[in-house]
Structure 1
Amino acid sequence: MSPYVRTVKTASGARAVQIVYSSRRGSREIEHIGSAHDDAELEMLKAIARQRLAAGQEELDLGLDDGPAAGGPLEIASSRMEHLWDALSRAYAALGFDAASAGDEVFRQLVLARVIEPTSKQDSLRVLDEAGITSVSYATVKRRLPLYAADRWRTALAEACAAHARLGPASLVLYDVSTLYFETDAGDGFREPGFSKERRLDPQITIGLLTDASGFPLMVQAFEGNKAETHTMLPVIGAFMTAHRLSDVTIVADAGMISEANKRAIEEAGLSFILGMRIPEVPYVVKQWRREHPDTQIPDGHIFIQPWPAAATQSRRDQMIYYQYRADRARRTLRGIDEQVAKAERAVDGQAPVKRNRFIKLTGAAKSVNRDLEAKARELAGLKGYITNLPGVTPAFVIEAYHRLFEIEKSFRMSKHDLKARPIYHHKRESIDAHLTIVFAALAVSRWIEHRTGWSIKKFVRTARRYRTVHIRAGRHRLTAADPLPADLRDALNQIHGREGAH
């Protein structure tokens, strides 16, 4: 390809500046830079075209095509990712983070730089420079980090998020945990080996995340890496309820988060819940249905309802348990059972080594396949349990609320992958907490952008960062040029800024 710049007249009488990419085969591609209505605009557009051809050179000699330029090369005064930065700043302000951080510009820059490109705090200054933002020094960043780890700072951000989510007594809040590992050999009381979501043996920390029903973050808290998941939920929810003076919310969590002690503590706190539950035995209502419908397959989507009233000696609300049967879930579960039983049979016959397999029964030195357990597992295939203490709700509401947990899983994926939450460069707890505060705020900004535009944050950043605003000095003139925006990005920016014409 041999690109060159040309000027052509348009039907309206303006002069259009274009970059023409021609090949030896005779094919051409034309990139339209813009249309000029006077000489100053024409020189500006030529400068933009030369900038693209010169791959970012700071000085652009416009005399290459048209002879020596009378004024010499034009100077690019500044180049800025204006559309992207303004959109992220709008999200930051809309969430109330300006007020929550008392206008702290260092924190704002670190949060928005992390959305653009997650990297170390020091390298964030390079990201800001590439975005055309004048940043503070790294020494200033290091001095400010301890402030961002303080409970007061994190509480102010959580209050802003809660106000944005408009939480009330009937609100659903989702809770889940994940782990972040460190590349170090020894624990220090905070970074400790424990059960890893990523199946790693390295020291780690456990992260508890609380979101609203849409996955918008409300609070994040770090725990020791060896702390049991079931022991993290109540401290997070208790701190959140106290900070925001909420009398009740409905907690939605998976079965792995809940122990009997947790459930009792939730009840004692007067909170509502919708929880997934383990099914160790075939429920009575399922057995009864099968007795009444012998040789009949449970219909796909059928829901069994089992009331669980409180005894006179129990200080809890009446509860309701729902068991839903799904044919697709049964198919996947039965396939897994078949594979595990086949492996167990090979191990019992001495054809394969004995590995962890729940269907292998060991009696002294003797091995056998646990057929009773296999039969029970097949009876339970396809069933999923849900329990709630909410009065007057439908099974569909309970199951749909539980399935909202995919939103918090999405937020975890965003924070761990798109925002690279793992605190690689931090070793002290204060530094780790400050890092997680920045990631938390960046996650909130990202979810706000996604909600407003319908785009993933990755797509929005990748698209918007390509369109820069350039300021050029041309003699006594100071010219502003900007790449033309595609229609879909223009619509997304309208959604963010709430302009007329936005959907």
Structure 2
Amino acid sequence: MLSCITNISINGADLILDRVFDNVGFNRIDDEVFRQLVKARLSYPASKSATVEYLKNYFDEDVSLSKIYRYLDKLSDNQHKIVQDISVLHTKKILGGHIGVLFYDVTTLYFEADYEDELRKTGFSKEGRHQNPQIILGLLVSIGGYPLAYCIHEGNKYEGHTMLPVVMEFVRKYELEDFIVVADSGLMNNDNIADLEANGYKYIIGAKIRNESRKIQEWILEQPKTDCQMVEYDKGNGQRLLVGYTEERARKDAYNREKGIRRLEKAYHRGTLTKDNINKRGYNKFLKMEGDVKVTINYEKLEKDAKWDGLKGYLTNTDISVNDVYAAYHNLWHVERAFRISKSKIEIRPMFHFTRRRIEAHVCICFVALKVYKELERLLKQSGINMSVDKVLELAKTIVTIQITLPQSKQTINRTMLMKRHQRIAPLFDDEFWVTR
């Protein structure tokens, strides 16, 4: 029998990802290279060169590196549109046909490069790599964190200008009605809010309560601070300002401020504080300059800052309840988690590409991988398999498929070998499991 074995493939993870890929509907894209690159991002995220070796060693897929690069160059913007259509159609299906809330956020992706170009530019980096060229990636997700659309922008673009175009295009294309846009305060200014209202969009955004008028600031600070309670201020024209207080946030605010001040005090005692430190970033806002040379810590500002501990504001033009506003805004963590998955699991960066076409193709592949990841996560939860996506794929990587060629008839038989340790994920290898999904 052993002499009849003609091949052994370590393909357990690959078999699961194939099923999920098809379940979402990406099999509409009749492109085997695209499928392989997406699956590789999830089971073996690496450079394109390492991906070539992975496909060759594990699946006998003889795809050359030059072929992959040529493929990325040809991956048209039309692929992006098809991918988005499939993702939206599937998300609407699992949400009962209605996408009621749109969550938007951005992140930055830096490059190991010394020069800029028309896309990769230096700007404010969320990863602290301000000296490196970067791009801005915007992501639109639904409730539950299912990816809907993405956009790529130059690395020096103000992130607040990235949201409205992608939201407007998405709403127009999919004829959305009765929806709410949710975004963080960092993406918002008065012009953006005016644009949302001009388009008739409902929104829930983080409010910059310290930038409100003196009258509103005084009203906020006069309110009793009760744990997990919110107060409401009518700003007129349908705008509601909600302000909540939690003791946990208050402790965190106080801890972070004290930590920042200890850092400044150490620098002050060492004599290393200079005029260059005077800015409004971080805890340097508590510094003041005496005369032309001496920089000291303004402790009066500290006392004023402490009054805001634990307070968080939300601005909305909806008429939904206070609790629903709070719940909707705090679902923004789904976008943040999507970025964490993209960076840590799918490894969207480092990116070893320098042309716009290849960068866009790489991001497109990672977007599809994120959608497949989220769908597998949903299926695991739905079917009661109490394991994370990462643990399932790691365990599946120990599953092999043996190919046997019968000596007389030359008939080929394939058998996927599930051992006792694989029983927790055995349903994923049963055809019946996928029929009902």
Residue 125 (structure 1) aligned to one of 31, 44, 52 = 52
**Secondary structure of the corresponding residue to residue 21 of structure 2:** helix
What residue identity is the alignment partner of 2:407? G
Q: Is the 8 A contact 1:344 1:359 kept in 2?
A: no
Deviation of 1:378 (Å): 0.9
Deviation of 1:388 (Å): 1.2
After superposition, give the CA deviation of every residue in 1:296-350 in whole Å (9 maximum; x if it has no partner).
xx2211211112221xxxxxxx121111111011112112333444555666677
- Structure 2 Cα separation of the partners of residues 394 and 89 of structure 1: 42
1:36-55 equivalence runs, <5 A: 43=1, 47=2
Deviation of 1:283 (Å): 3.2
What residue identity is the alignment partner of 2:434? G
1:252-263 equivalence runs, <5 A: 252-263=182-193
Equivalent residue number for residue 317 of structure 2: 389
1:438-477 equivalence runs, <5 A: 438-454=365-381, 455-473=387-405, 475-476=407-408
After superposition, give the CA deviation of every residue in 1:167-223 in whole Å (9 maximum; x if it has no partner).
777611111111111111111121111111111111111111111121111112111
Q: Is the 8 A contact 2:221 2:308 kept in 1?
A: no
Residue 220 (structure 2) aligned to one of 286, 289, 296 = 286
- Structure 1 Cα separation of the partners of residues 376 and 218 of structure 2: 47
Deviation of 1:118 (Å): 1.3
Deviation of 1:430 (Å): 0.7
After superposition, give the CA deviation of every residue in 1:228-285 in whole Å (9 maximum; x if it has no partner).
1111111222222233232453111111111111111111121111111222167344
- Structure 1 Cα separation of the partners of residues 198 and 246 of structure 2: 34
Give the direction of change, closer, same or farther, for the CA distance of 1:117–1:346 in structure 2 (3 Å limit).
closer
Q: Is the 8 A contact 1:90 1:497 kept in 2?
A: no
Q: Is the 8 A contact 1:87 1:497 kept in 2?
A: no
**Secondary structure of the corresponding residue to residue 122 of structure 2:** coil
Residue 490 (structure 1) aligned to one of 421, 426, 435 = 426
Equivalent residue number for residue 162 of structure 1: 88
Q: Is the 8 A contact 1:79 1:132 kept in 2?
A: no
TM-score normalised by length of structure 2: 0.86
Deviation of 1:431 (Å): 0.9
Give the direction of change, closer, same or farther, for the CA distance of 1:412–1:495 in structure 2 (3 Å limit).
farther
Give the direction of change, closer, same or farther, for the CA distance of 1:121–1:347 in structure 2 (3 Å limit).
closer
- Structure 2 Cα separation of the partners of residues 239 and 319 of structure 1: 25
Equivalent residue number for residue 326 of structure 2: 399
After superposition, give the CA deviation of every residue in 1:338-369 in whole Å (9 maximum; x if it has no partner).
34445556666775534452111224425444
1:112-261 equivalence runs, <5 A: 112-132=39-59, 134=61, 136-148=63-75, 150-166=76-92, 171-200=100-129, 201-247=131-177, 249-261=179-191
Gaps of 5+ in 2: 279-283, 382-386
Gaps of 5+ in 1: 1-42, 48-73, 291-297, 311-317
After superposition, give the CA deviation of every residue in 1:29-57 in whole Å (9 maximum; x if it has no partner).
xxxxxxxxxxxxxx4xxx4xxxxxxxxxx
More helix by share: 2
1:7-18 equivalence runs, <5 A: none
Equivalent residue number for residue 56 of structure 1: none
1:49-68 equivalence runs, <5 A: none
Q: Is the 8 A contact 1:192 1:204 kept in 2?
A: yes
Larger radius of gyration: 1
Deviation of 1:96 (Å): 1.8
Identity rate, percent: 31
**Secondary structure of the corresponding residue to residue 377 of structure 1:** helix
Report 1 or 2 for greater relative contact order, CA contacts < 8 Å, sequence distance ≥ 6.
Answer: 2
- Structure 1 Cα separation of the partners of residues 356 and 378 of structure 2: 33
**Secondary structure of the corresponding residue to residue 380 of structure 1:** coil
Give the direction of change, closer, same or farther, for the CA distance of 1:276–1:214 in structure 2 (3 Å limit).
same
Give the direction of change, closer, same or farther, for the CA distance of 1:97–1:169 in structure 2 (3 Å limit).
closer
Q: Is the 8 A contact 2:418 2:426 kept in 1?
A: no
Equivalent residue number for residue 104 of structure 1: 31
Equivalent residue number for residue 273 of structure 2: 353
Root-mean-square deviation (CA, aligned residues, Å) is 2.7
Q: Which moved more, 1:249-258 or 1:357-366?
A: 357-366
- Structure 2 Cα separation of the partners of residues 307 and 492 of structure 1: 52
**Secondary structure of the corresponding residue to residue 183 of structure 1:** coil
Equivalent residue number for residue 414 of structure 1: 341
